[in-house]
Amino acid sequence: MNTPHPPTVHGNVTPGHVPVLTRPGVATRLTVNALGHSTGAPPAGPTFNHPFRAALGSASITFRLGTVQSLAGFGPIEPRIKVNGQLVPMSGKDGNTPAPLALSASVATADGISWAVLEVSPDPNTGELTKDSLVQIVHTNNPVSHSRTLGRCAIAMILWQARHPLRVLPIVHFNLRYFRILASAGAPTGAPKHLFL
């Protein structure tokens, strides 16, 4: 007559206990043997300190210096941010303390989203940026422009909760080049294209 053998017990498992089966996450190593179990994960990689990298404060965002250059015109240009009614370089007045972009809960959409946007005003005739062109970062709920004289590029998305900025998600990771394409005479729509490459 065959009698069933009792289960073999290893490590921290006790008779009658059903172990919980788990799966390790991506790149996580789970080892189980007679001595017990261990987990291991690779160390976090280095952070890429990229242009336009955003840092969220309680009511503002600061950015690591980034630039924009006209494809065939002037540049590179450091964007400006309005601080206390005055446009200052995004790297700050002293070049070392980034200028804060003020955030307003009234700008956020009903879904709790707003945008930090790079705005450029190219020369109306050539479409190129010049040394006198307006190049600034603004807080808005509309990251797109269909105006001939105003191009917009979202550089960060801000998530809101209960009228407070909760998180900032960077979108742009490199310095930008700008190019405007006007609609041709036979095009179905007259909207220009503002390309940020």
Tens of pLDDT, residue by residue over 142-155, are 999 988 889 999 99
pTM value is: 0.73
Question: What's the mean pLDDT in 29-34?
Answer: 70
Assess if residue 183 is contained within a domain: yes
Q: How far is CA 99 from CA 53, 137, 162, 174, in A?
A: 13, 10, 25, 19
pLDDT at 38: 65
Exposed e or buried b per residue across 134-150, where buried means at least 16 C-beta atoms within 10 angstroms of its C-beta: ebbbebeeebebeebee
* Residue 52 CB neighbour total at 10 angstroms: 25
Q: Render pLDDT for 56-96 as a digit per residue (tens, 0 to 9).
A: 999 999 999 999 999 877 889 999 999 999 999 999 988 88
Average model confidence (pLDDT) for the chain? 83
Assess if residue 162 is contained within a domain: yes
Sheet holding 68-70, edge to edge: 68-70, 176-181, 193-196
pLDDT at 37: 65
CA angle 116, 77, 192 (to 5 degrees): 65
Domain count for the chain, please give it.
1
Assess if residue 42 is contained within a domain: no
Assess if residue 149 is contained within a domain: yes
Assess if residue 172 is contained within a domain: yes
Residues 76, 69 contacting (CB under 8 angstroms): yes
Assess if residue 4 is contained within a domain: no
Assess if residue 26 is contained within a domain: no
Q: Quote the domain boundaries for residue 176.
A: 54-196
Assess if residue 64 is contained within a domain: yes
